[in-house]
Structure 1
Amino acid sequence: MSDQTIGLLVMAYGTPERPDQIEAYYTHIRHGRKPSEPALQNLIARYRTIGGVSPLAEITRAQGERLTEKLNRTVTGKKFKLYLGMKHTAPFIEDAVSQMAGDGVKEAIGLILAPHYSDYSVRLYMDRAQAAAQAYDGLKIHMIDDWYDEPSFIAFWARQIRKELDKIGDLSKTAVIFSAHSLPVKIIQNGDPYPGQVKETAQLIADALHLKRFAVGWQSAGRTGEPWIGPDVRELTRQFYHESGCTAFVYCPIGFIADHLEVLYDNDQVCRQLTEELGAAYYRPAMPNADPQFIACLATIVARRAVQLDREDKAPARNQATIHSA
């Protein structure tokens, strides 16, 4: 009996791959409203600062491809087929679902490349994918809600941060600042789990490293006129510097899993500039990107979901997934 083909719908935010795509990307983020010329030029300037465009698109493809390869080496009874779907750039989530249906896939696992769940962000990916799937009879997409506390994810970050701490040596005046993308304060009032999940990830990593001086901050807040979750990472930096005399800062953007604008600009440019103004040292661990250890983490998460599907569906004709190490 041949292995069952199962779609792997990997979803991410998306990014322009060329400078001439930036305006369309920005317009899509703004729900079809074109940005003002000053706002557009500001975004173009940010991209120019990090090399013209973000490497996110290339990294996302590499993550999806290597994850699929890993799964097909380590999970028997299934053959995973990759479909990439972006929130704001082609191929859009709907394009990926359409392609999946055209290929005859009847069952898929959906993975959003963001570890923490929020109705304001991750839920939107899920809703778009499920809405698109409803147009195709028999296509089922089984979503993975979050993976913020996955042990191998925590271990990955702990290893990366340890490398930076080892460079510093004397940690008595060192602060570790964990961060994630800020969201509007209203999500807290609605009971959204996002802030709590981010804080739990940070605490798990801090516990693994036995950190004594750390905090959770927020970055990359939108300019919408409404309050966004704080404190901002820059505010935390100043606080640690003035109140604790810290002269070395390790920035850990645990809400992200790839090098992109928010990391390469908001951290490596804005936060670095602040530390230089304070006369302090700037450090940032390498992002997960397509690191084999991180890909193995994602494979564990997806493979576990595949096993759960087999337990949920007892039909005798279905092949049972088995996970092997590789």
Structure 2
Amino acid sequence: MELGGGTRQDFDALLLLSFGGPEGPEQVRPFLENVTRGRNIPPERLDGVAEHYLHFGGVSPINGINRALIEQIEAELADRGMTLPVYFGNRNWEPYVEDTVARMRDDGVRRAAVFTTSAWGGYSGCTQYQEDIARARTAAGDGAPELVKLRQYFDHPLLIEMFAESISEAAATLPDDLRAEARLVFTAHSIPLRAASLCGPDLYGRQVAYASALVAAAAGFPTYDQVWQSRSGPPQVPWLEPDVGDHLSALQEAGTKAVVVCPIGFVADHIEVVWDLDNEVRDQAEEAGIAFARASTPNARRQFARLAVDLVDELRLGLDPLRVTDPAPVPGYGCTVDGALCTPQCVSQRRPGEASAGRPPG
């Protein structure tokens, strides 16, 4: 199917598909065990991560943000004269996508567009959501609706606009005498180097770099840094670097007095944003005497709802994809540029026999 001037698709529903998160202290450990099932993560490692959630009362912000975003999407659909019902499903916690797709089947949904809370290509950002879709349809059995995953949107003008606005808002909170010299630092979730090119040569890294350049230009920052965060696993396994904490130490040594950190790789202020950045990195900055400001993610902004409905309209009306084209993107950046819904060579990074995250047995 072509995105520009191609076959139009009718949809009778929209599914927001996300990662999921606990909504009470008693759910934290089962949630983490579900996320890491089949990966042989030591129990003490899960205990450490559980403390991050328990610091916030055992409640991840992500489900609440997604429910608020759904309200905005419903309002945007109504403004455009569209009557699509919007469903909500998660990979790792309630509402599980399997249950949601079964409910869609029972409601008579035949074809639904799927908007995922990831803007990126690569396994974790794209392919794993395709696996979620396939698993949910299999679980639903006969009569399962067709589910069409919407494209990656890392270069959509509204995503660039939202992050640029957030950077300006964050910079305005810095002391007046430091604002002009603040260093802009983009951060995204790191991944193992062995996974970096599974879906095209350094696809995810190049997408993050391209989006960072677009946002920096829109926010009026001629110079910036792009780093990584939230790595996990044994230290002998190499991941994308530099780490945001290591980079902050380097900025301290260089005499930097203020930073604006933009979590470009995340579309919601979930635990890996509010803990890793708002606690660990902020504390590190304060100890180093560096003024710190953190830009918000899109969360439930109305522009994010507009972006989601734009993606639906691209397929519903056969429109060319809305994307930033100045500077012109380099070929090979995934489905937006290449004209396919997913990069054909993208393969699972799971080892044979390793479980896929999803609903736990039973």
TM-score norm. by structure 2 comes to 0.78
Amino-acid identity (%): 29
CA contact (8 A) 1:71 1:303 kept: no
User: How many residue pairs align between the two structures?
Assistant: 303
Post-superposition CA distance 1:43-92 (Å, at most 9, x none): 23212323432221111111123212311321x4x421112111110222
**Does the residue aligned with 1:120 lie in a helix, a strand or coil?**
helix
Residues of 1 paired with 2:41 and 2:74: CA distance?
Answer: 37
Inter-CA distance 83–154: structure 2 relative to 1 (3 Å threshold): same
1:182 lines up with 2:193 in the alignment: no
CA deviations on 1:172-202 (whole Å, 9 max, x unpaired) are: 5321111111111112243352111111110
Structure (1 or 2) with the greater helix fraction: 1
- In the alignment, structure 1 segments of 5+ residues that lack a partner are 310-326
Aligned to 2:325: none
Q: Contact between 1:109 and 1:144, CA under 8 Å: does it hold in 2?
A: yes
Do residues 308 (structure 1) and 314 (structure 2) align? no
Structure-to-structure mapping, 1:212-227, within 5 angstroms:
212-225=222-235, 226-227=237-238
Matches within 5 A, 1:236-275: 236-243=247-254, 245-275=255-285
Structure 2, unmatched stretches of 5+, are 1-9, 320-362
Residues 5 and 81, structure 1, Cα contact 8 Å, conserved in 2: no
Cα deviation for residue 288 of structure 1 reads 1.8
**Contact preservation (8 Å) 1:97, 1:132:** yes
User: In the alignment, which residue of structure 2 is the partner of 1:280?
Assistant: 290
Amino acid at match of 2:196: I
SS in 2 for 1:216: strand
Query: 1:6 aligns to what?
Result: 12
Do the aligned partners of 2:189 and 2:265 also contact (CA within 8 Å) in 1?
Answer: yes
| Residue pairs, 1:1-326, within 5 angstroms | 6-31=12-37, 36-74=42-80, 76=81, 78-133=82-137, 135-137=141-143, 139-168=145-174, 169=176, 170-190=178-198, 191-225=201-235, 226-243=237-254, 245-308=255-318
Output the CA distance in 2 between the equivalents of 1:209 and 1:121: 25
Mapped to 1, the partners of 2:79 and 2:197 lie a distance apart of: 44
Superimposed CA distance per residue, residues 189-235 of structure 1 (whole angstroms, 9 cap, x where no aligned partner):
43352111111110001111231331111111122452211111112
Aligned counterparts of 2:292 and 2:50: Cα–Cα separation in 1: 25
Q: C-alpha root-mean-square deviation of aligned residues, in Å?
A: 2.2
Specify the alignment match of 2:322 in structure 1: none
Higher relative contact order (CA 8 A, sep 6+): 2
Local SS of the residue matching 1:297: helix
Q: Cα offset for 1:139? A: 2.6
Q: TM-score, normalised by structure 1?
A: 0.86
